[in-house]
């Protein structure tokens, strides 16, 4: 039985400033560093065999405390970097940038069918993430691993493992304060923990892989 702990990176400085990040590389905010240590605390007794992240520092720095507690290296994978968001990268998420707001609204309306100009399609993102995920799960050999990813990377992982799509996966809210514990077997089970302090009690979902 393989257990995958799946977390998004802690809050970055650009998350706090309401800027769109994509594959750009800001540092964690103070809150993000606290979330990284909360992740390590929650996983203190987990039998981790591997800790994995993307090559962007907000994921590496989020994974580092948990990896250090288990005396494991953080293994960084280019295939787990966030989706390239083209012309939206570095722009404001709010009313300071009406054109960015328009593109984000169109992206929300069309979902996986929309590709930001100059960016990466969801299909391209899915192909690279799933290939890396399957390799890491194969190497886990029935143990437990941690992956610290990004919002859209983690949606790909959740959709792939749980067989969900779009709105259903969005309901899992793969944000910086959330840790998913996914137990893989004939049916995948996911439990959700709030890294800002509270366990989201009693919420479990089972579905065939």
pTM of this prediction?
A: 0.91
Mean pLDDT of 55-79: 98
Distance CA 181, CA 49 (A): 15
Residue 29 makes CB contacts below 8 A (sequence gap 6+) with 10, 11, 12, 13, 15, 16
Asked if residue 181 is part of any domain, the answer here is yes
**Is 130 domain-assigned?**
yes
Give the gyration radius of the chain's Cα atoms. 16
DSSP single-letter state for residue 114? -
Selecting among 9, 70, 84, 152, the annotated active-site residue is 9
Q: Is the pLDDT of residue 175 over 90?
A: no
**Once rounded to an integer, what is the mean pLDDT over residues 143-170?**
85
Compute φ and ψ for 204, nearest 5 degrees. Answer: -140, 145
Structure tokens at 79: 């295939």
Asked if residue 42 belongs to a domain, the reply is: yes
Between CA 158 and CA 207 the distance in angstroms is 11
In a domain, 188, yes or no: yes
Are residues 105 and 95 in contact, defined by beta-carbon separation less than 8 angstroms?
no
Taken as a whole, the chain contains a residue count of 209
Burial class (CB in 10 A: 0-12, 13-18, 19+), 185: exposed
Instruction: Give the mean model confidence (pLDDT) for residues 177-191.
Output: 88
- For this structure, is 82 an active site residue? yes
For residue 94, being part of any structural domain is answered with no
The answer to whether residue 67 is domain-embedded is yes
101 has pLDDT over 50: yes
- Placement of tokens 């065999």 in the chain: 49
Quick check: is 27 catalytic? no
pLDDT of residue 186: 82
3-state DSSP assignment of residue 25:
coil
Does the residue 111 lie in any domain? no
Q: Is residue 114 part of a domain?
A: no
Residue 61, pLDDT score: 98
Instruction: Report the percent of the chain where pLDDT is more than 70.
Output: 89
pLDDT of 199 higher than 60: no
* Active-site annotation holder among 11, 52, 77, 82: 82
Residues 112-149: tens digit of each pLDDT: 999 999 999 999 999 999 999 999 999 998 899 999 99
Mean pLDDT of 188-197: 81
Pairwise CA distance, residues 137 & 159, whole Å: 15
pLDDT digits (tens, 9 = 90+) for 1-10: 899 999 999 9
Q: Residue 50 sits in a domain of what CATH number?
A: 3.40.50.1240
Residue 1's CB: how many other CB atoms inside 10 A? 8
Domain count, the chain: 1
Query: What is the structure's pLDDT at 197?
Result: 56
Residue 170 is predicted with a pLDDT of 54
**198 pLDDT exceeds 60?**
no
Give me the pLDDT at residue 205, please.
Answer: 40
Mean confidence (pLDDT) of the chain: 89
- pLDDT (mean) for 92-113: 93
Q: Which domain holds residue 53?
A: 2-18+28-83+120-208
pLDDT(56) > 60: yes
CB atoms within 10 A of CB 111: 12
pLDDT value at residue 203: 37
């Amino acid at each position: 039985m393989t257990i995958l702990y799946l977390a998004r990176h802690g809050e970055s400085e650009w998350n706090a400033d309401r800027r769109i990040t994509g594959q750009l590389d800001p540092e964690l905010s103070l809150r993000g560093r606290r979330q990284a240590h909360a992740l390590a605390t929650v996983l203190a007794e987990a039998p981790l065999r591997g800790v994995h992240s993307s090559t962007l520092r907000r994921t590496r720095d989020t994974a580092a405390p948990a990896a250090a507690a288990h005396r494991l290296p953080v293994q960084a994978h280019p295939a787990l970097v966030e989706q390239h968001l083209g012309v939206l990268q570095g722009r404001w998420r709010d009313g300071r940038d009406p054109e960015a707001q328009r593109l984000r609204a169109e992206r929300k309306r069309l979902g996986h069918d929309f590709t930001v100009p100059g960016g990466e399609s969801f299909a391209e993102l899915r192909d690279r993430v799933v290939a890396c995920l399957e390799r890491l799960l194969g190497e886990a050999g029935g143990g437990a691993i941690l992956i610290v990813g990004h919002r859209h990377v983690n949606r790909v992982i959740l959709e792939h493992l749980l067989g969900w799509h779009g709105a259903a996966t969005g309901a899992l809210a793969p944000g910086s304060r959330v840790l998913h514990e996914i137990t893989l077997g004939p049916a995948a089970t996911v439990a959700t923990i709030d890294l800002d302090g509270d366990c989201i009690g009693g919420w479990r979902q089972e579905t065939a892989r």
